[in-house]
Structure 1
């Protein structure tokens, strides 16, 4: 069974291939483009209060949606170029966070857990 993420990955790969953009889609370039798009998303929130950010006006929400799409596309393309299974990596990270942030200790807290040891 093909997932939505797999279909998106293949579609992005084909999008780049037919335009002969693979030469430009190095991990460095994709990471830099991703950072730029994250910056554009952050700019949409820059002067909002915390309350305003919870319910942006329709125009702002439309811009945020576009920036979220850009971030997603670059992230998916970067993972593909690096050969990283994005869903597996996210699942592994969530399991690591579950171990590091015990609910009974961190519930309602913004405290950071100590870093995981290398290879953990």
Structure 2
């Protein structure tokens, strides 16, 4: 639950910003965002340690799964879910 709370605190920084504004944060705001990202990372690391999950291995596995589900040449520029693409 703390992880969800930290993710919410991160999102608050971007809630009313455009994509361009989000990409051009002022130094002070960027530092606040960095701290929220660090909080999230620390919670993920602690949770993965407690569950015995290798985060790097899990991320690599998930990337491989997504490459199969969402081939770049088929989905680039399209936000549909995996089962929604025509064959």
Specify if TM > 0.5: yes
- Equivalenced residues, count: 83
CA distance in 2, matches of 1:33, 1:93: 24
Summarize deviations over 1:45-71 as a string: whole Å, max 9, x none.
112112100111111101000000000
3-state SS of 1:35 partner: helix
1:73 alignment partner, one of 42, 50, 53: 42
Once superposed, what is the RMSD of the aligned Cα atoms? Answer: 0.8
Alignment of 1:42 with 2:11, yes or no, is: yes
- Report how far residue 97 of structure 1 moved: 0.0
The 5-angstrom pairing of residues 1-120 of structure 1 reads 32-114=1-83
Q: Flag as ranges the 4+ runs of structure 1 deviating above 3 A.
A: none
Mapped partners of 2:19, 2:76: distance in 1: 21
Taking structure 2 as the reference length, what is the TM-score of the superposition?
Answer: 0.90
Q: CA deviation at 1:108?
A: 1.8
Which residue pairs with 1:23 in the alignment?
A: none
TM-score (norm 1): 0.67
Structure 2: gaps of 5 or more residues? none
Partner SS for 2:77: coil
Larger radius of gyration: 1
Deviation, 1:110, is: 1.6
